[in-house]
Structure 1
Amino acid sequence: MNIQDIIVAKVEEAIKSIYNKEIETVELQATRKEFEGDITVVIFPMLRTIKGNPQHIGEEIGAYLVANVAEIAKFNVVKGFLNLVISDAFFVDFFNSIKKEKHYGYQSPAPGSKAVMVEYSSPNTNKPLHLGHIRNNLLGYSVAEILQASGRKVYKTQIINDRGIHICKSMLAWQKFGNGETPQSTGLKGDKLVGNYYVAFDKAYKAQIEEMIANGIDKKVAEKEAPLLLEAQEMLRKWEAGNQEVVNLWKTMNGWVYEGFNETYKNLGVDFDQLYYESDTYLLGKDVVADGLQRGVFFKKEDGSVWIDLTDEDLDEKIVLRADGTAVYMTQDIGTAIQRIKDYPDVGGLVYTVGNEQDYHFKVLFLILKKLGFDWADNLYHLSYGMVDLPSGKMKSREGTVVDADDLIIEMSRTAEEISSELGKLDGFSNKGRQQLYKTIGLGALKYYILKVDPKKRILFDPKESIDFQGNTGPFIQYTYARIQSILRKADFDYAQPIDNNYHLHEKERELIKQLQLFPEVIQNAASNFSPALIANYVYDLVKEFNSFYQNVSILGAENTSEKITRVQLSKKVSEIIADALSLLGITVPERM
């Protein structure tokens, strides 16, 4: 039982003993900084049950708690708030119990508990990953890590959108304009090479439209009947029919893209347990629709198309099968979700990391799966997120105005180098060591800046602002970790023994331990809310608390051995929590900085 549970139980016991009354709930909160205390019992809600002066009631309950709870050293009452001072011995015992615990706050999966599958990235194979994909990948990967730390078994997955008209556009442009170019012959990453041809298609297609309009053809007709578009549509039909030449080209160009993606994922520090491909899943779901039609979940319109009526759920009617019997995206997503549960029977829920423009799609998908009777459909979550903007404005893939993920990673490293050089932070590093550190700082800055924001909010990303060594940034937190490692290297004495139970804590030591106590609860809250921002803001608060501790007490120069041992141990544990919290965000920490 934690201290909060003990206090709640004893407050209820006090009210029964003193007033012979029972109350439904006891409200606790952290004591405000300007008052002495650690935990505050709010008296006002009790006045519905206990009549009297809140000051007097607080004093009576406080006296009872001090007499009956060993962990409570003293109390004070301020305007109906009972502030409890927890004993130093309690905090020392707590710290001794966690100081050697590896990954304190992490939980292991309970026997028989259901796993969760987290989907993220899921790119198209006609262009490289861009800034929007970076937010998607960082969110999905971090949520997967947080869920795992909270005690869930997790599978990381993506579905690669490797088929369709957009893929054929890149293929056709390469056929027409590529002159046999390959990643090897050009020195370009495969995803970049293919992306160039997606842009080339759009340019040539627009030129054809302009020419047709100049010849008196209506713009809408020109857009539908431009020869290049018709050729791309024909190529898609050939692919669906299994034309060997088209399929071979598709395999070759997708292979180039996958090699490029893998390099980006490696540089970004994300990975996957299972890959799904739309070319394998796009026919899934049709049999489910047929079954649902028989059971009355779906209905057929006069033209033969199949729909679901969700008007009772304040939504509208949604098509799940076209009149010609072909699937829509919703059909595929229904079939893919079911297939994933078949592939991983221990999975009891799915998390989809997809931008907020798809909010409606996922509401419909989840409702359909519930109406089809799948019990796991209650555990589906759309990790919806806002767009990422840059000071230069919105990105457009087909026009080639995207912020390329690889270029951004390199730019972050360069920005870290530029700012570090200005501050003179990295004197004494070898050239190789500096380059590695620039990458660590740059990526840490990028990831932290994106993940500290609530996923649902839109972000304006400023690379230079993200690499500030002061304030709520990744480099500031990394720098604090490196500072602690410097302290530990200088500690030339044995500081491993337990802290004496009679040790009198300095106010700053007490505040630091209280901050450490919060970490397990923060992990659980972040997992429940699918929000890396809760971890990011916790670790920032921890770092601020440590820096206040560092500035107000002497660590290695402490007056006596007990203080030295306690403060070095505290510093070490703080650095471990920093490293663990940042690892949940996919951020690595430098030993020197």
Structure 2
Amino acid sequence: MDFIIDAAVKAIKHLYQIDVAPAAIGLQETRKEFDGQITIVTFPFTKFSRKGPEQTGTEIGEYLLSELKEVAAFNVVKGFLNISLNDEYWIGQLYNEILPDSFAVAKPNGQKVMVEYSSPNTNKPLHLGHVRNNLLGFSVAQILAAAGYEVIKTNLVNDRGIHICKSMLAWQKFGNGETPESTGMKGDHLVGKYYVLFEKELRVQLAPILDRIYEKNDLSLFKEGQKVKIEALLNSIDKLKVKKQTTPEANTKAIDELNDKIGADQDKIKEIAKGATQLMIETQQMLQQWEAGDAVVMDLWRTMNGWVYAGFAETYKQMGVDFDKYYYESNTYLLGKDIIEEGLEKGVFFKKEDGSVWIDLTADGLDEKLVLRSDGTSVYITQDMGTAQLKYNDYHMDKSIYVVGNEQDYHFKVLFLILNKLGKAGADGLFHLSYGMVDLPSGKMKSREGTVVDADDLMAEMETTAKEQTEAMGKVDGFSEEYKLQLYHTIGMGALKYFLLKVDPKKRLLFDPNESVDFQGHTGPFIQYTHARIKSVLSRADYNAGIKTDIAALDGVERDLIVLLTQFPTVIQDAANGYSPAIVANYVYELAKTYNKFYHEKSILQAEDETLKQFRLQLSASSAKVISQGMALLGIDVPERM
């Protein structure tokens, strides 16, 4: 639409003798209740015209109508100039822009971007939260690539630490040599089973210790510093209970707040008490052995992580996501220590009397942040600083996107601020793509572990739901069993992906498996079915893709469809700029709705003449192409038959 912007700049110069920059001309889509396709907001120009917004819009509209052969008419509503372009222009858009293979294929923009997503722990299978993370990260990477970026998809695997040792120790104690082969379980599920067993046994060992604390006031199991902390917490609980007893029963809010504080103090005592269990003592010893490179522990670690990686690979394949580069915490967790020394030399960090290293961010509206413990061991942010430097050294990317849940908002705010203060290359290109949690309707789906919904279970449930609803509609008569199985997977995964991606990433969402497979709703299967419908029409026609028809005029729904199709390249750029697959998802839904309106209102195969038939087939083929490309950006396949 640059030609309209240029003409509007000339109109203002001609009418009001003022030079304005092209960026001052804001174009937007005309609202559906008004005639036109392109709208110019005229309020900013009233200071030049010294007239009301309606008169200013009328004057600019008359200039555009006289100067541009593409403008057929205009109307002004308050401060909005709505422009109607003629059918010749829109027909030209179909043949010159949309139908060619080059449509919506952006030229390389010379920028490199890394998208980091998934970031699983190797002590349990992927769960529902990982599903949104993986689908979001993969889709953002696809969209950025379509917008002209060179994209590197990375996965930072959390493969070390106390949580990994919990699964390892439980397997040693209770596993009896079980392997994925001997049990028939996926490796990640087998390791996850022992993580659950560890927590179960930990609760058994924890109960008598808590009883000694609360019933006998016996703190002999704890070191002096731990005793002081527990005693302080017990005193706090006693005071809170007294306060609760004197609070009027009618003040339920105050009572609830006191109960929450009591519960928080009890949780703190529980965390300290866990360290006194035999199980946690042995786990800490195993972690120390791992860090010391003990051969037996390292061998077990490699074996069990190998099981998990094989399981993850199956899940990723089923999910339809992949990665260009893996980073492993076991290789990166010490990397930040050199940066700590650099920061101390630059005065960015400071050292306290106990030897711990901190950064003071109070001037930035935050607080003091620990970056290295007094014993010289790293904390998470130490590792993340080092990993950020490593990734930049490997790829020298212009942008680096971290796809991580919103519970880590503060962590990334601090990380990016520190890297900027250190003057690290690439620090100004860091972005945290923060997303909300996913909830399920109660009782819809139960997880294997009873606490979180397993990703494999979720995907299997989606295929079952797709199968039930598709067969109930009688949509698979005549299909081979092999094609049916492929179709159920395509529909089930399309439903899952579309439902999770159509919502703005920042928002928390409620995922309903049955609603997501509704063939008539705002869903992936509705869009997939529209694509299959178009392919069915094209397969029954003698379609000449490359022949330009001699059609002179458009019907309203035909024009609406072309207008919507022309927006696809801009939609991709907007989604890339906002790191939001939701922009693409909702655009493709609008396109599918508009095509279905066209399909029901206009005869295609039985059109009045061959010219009109070929034109409508070309319009159908263009719609199928854009639907397919748009869904691919979401990681969703569209079937040829359905």
TM-score (normalizing by structure 2): 0.88
**What residue in structure 1 maps to residue 301 of structure 2?**
250
**What residue in structure 1 maps to residue 33 of structure 2?**
34
Structure 2: distance between partners of 1:512 and 1:147: 25
Structure 2: distance between partners of 1:247 and 1:56: 79
Structure 1: distance between partners of 2:407 and 2:79: 48
Alignment of 1:531-570 (within 5 A): 531-570=580-619
Measured at CA, do residues 565 and 245 of structure 1 come closer, stay the same or move farther in structure 2, by a change above 3 Å? same
Question: For each residue in 1:358-392, what CA deviation from the matched residue of structure 2 results, as whole angstroms up to 9, or x when unmatched?
Answer: 00000010011111112310100101111111112
Measured at CA, do residues 86 and 249 of structure 1 come closer, stay the same or move farther in structure 2, by a change above 3 Å? same
**What residue in structure 2 maps to residue 517 of structure 1?**
566
**What residue in structure 2 maps to residue 476 of structure 1?**
526
- Unaligned segments of structure 1, at least 5 residues: none
**What residue in structure 1 maps to residue 81 of structure 2?**
82
Conserved? CA contact 1:103–1:580, under 8 Å: no
- Aligned pairs, number: 586
Aligned partner of 1:119 among 111, 116, 119: 116
Alpha-carbon distance, 1:35 to partner: 3.0
**Mean alpha-carbon deviation: is it higher for 17-26 or for 407-416?**
17-26
Measured at CA, do residues 415 and 42 of structure 1 come closer, stay the same or move farther in structure 2, by a change above 3 Å? same
Conserved? CA contact 1:395–1:403, under 8 Å: yes
Structure 2: distance between partners of 1:300 and 1:185: 53
Structure 1: distance between partners of 2:447 and 2:406: 18
Alpha-carbon distance, 1:80 to partner: 4.8
Alignment of 1:376-455 (within 5 A): 376-392=426-442, 400-455=450-505
Alpha-carbon distance, 1:99 to partner: 3.8
Alignment of 1:97-136 (within 5 A): 97-102=96-101, 104-110=103-109, 113-136=110-133
Question: For each residue in 1:535-580, what CA deviation from the matched residue of structure 2 results, as whole angstroms up to 9, or x when unmatched?
Answer: 1011011111111111111111111222111110011011111111
Alignment-mate amino acid for residue 597 of structure 2? S
Measured at CA, do residues 372 and 222 of structure 1 come closer, stay the same or move farther in structure 2, by a change above 3 Å? closer
- The percent identity for this pair of structures is 59
Structure 1: distance between partners of 2:461 and 2:538: 33
Measured at CA, do residues 397 and 209 of structure 1 come closer, stay the same or move farther in structure 2, by a change above 3 Å? farther
Structure 2: distance between partners of 1:84 and 1:222: 72
Alpha-carbon distance, 1:16 to partner: 2.9
Alpha-carbon distance, 1:55 to partner: 4.6
**What residue in structure 2 maps to residue 278 of structure 1?**
329
Alpha-carbon distance, 1:189 to partner: 0.3
Conserved? CA contact 2:114–2:152, under 8 Å: yes
**What residue in structure 1 maps to residue 257 of structure 2?**
none
**What residue in structure 1 maps to residue 384 of structure 2?**
333
Structure 2: distance between partners of 1:354 and 1:579: 28
Alignment-mate amino acid for residue 439 of structure 2? D
User: Residue 263 in 1 paired to residue 340 in 2?
Assistant: no
User: Residue 144 in 1 paired to residue 193 in 2?
Assistant: no
**Mean alpha-carbon deviation: is it higher for 579-588 or for 60-69?**
60-69
Measured at CA, do residues 397 and 496 of structure 1 come closer, stay the same or move farther in structure 2, by a change above 3 Å? closer
**Mean alpha-carbon deviation: is it higher for 60-69 or for 511-520?**
60-69
SS of the residue 1:146 aligns to: helix
Alpha-carbon distance, 1:63 to partner: 2.7
Conserved? CA contact 1:65–1:72, under 8 Å: yes
SS of the residue 1:375 aligns to: coil
SS of the residue 2:608 aligns to: coil
- Unaligned segments of structure 2, at least 5 residues: 220-268
User: Residue 300 in 1 paired to residue 351 in 2?
Assistant: yes
Alpha-carbon distance, 1:43 to partner: 3.4
Question: For each residue in 1:502-548, what CA deviation from the matched residue of structure 2 results, as whole angstroms up to 9, or x when unmatched?
Answer: 62111111111110111111111111111111110110111111111
Measured at CA, do residues 227 and 550 of structure 1 come closer, stay the same or move farther in structure 2, by a change above 3 Å? same
Alpha-carbon distance, 1:27 to partner: 4.2
Measured at CA, do residues 77 and 297 of structure 1 come closer, stay the same or move farther in structure 2, by a change above 3 Å? closer
TM-score (normalizing by structure 1): 0.95
Question: For each residue in 1:32-61, what CA deviation from the matched residue of structure 2 results, as whole angstroms up to 9, or x when unmatched?
Answer: 333332223333433222134555444433
Superposition RMSD in Å: 2.0
User: Residue 48 in 1 paired to residue 47 in 2?
Assistant: yes
Conserved? CA contact 1:115–1:348, under 8 Å: yes
Structure 2: distance between partners of 1:224 and 1:21: 75
**What residue in structure 1 maps to residue 187 of structure 2?**
190
Conserved? CA contact 2:116–2:155, under 8 Å: yes
User: Residue 66 in 1 paired to residue 65 in 2?
Assistant: yes
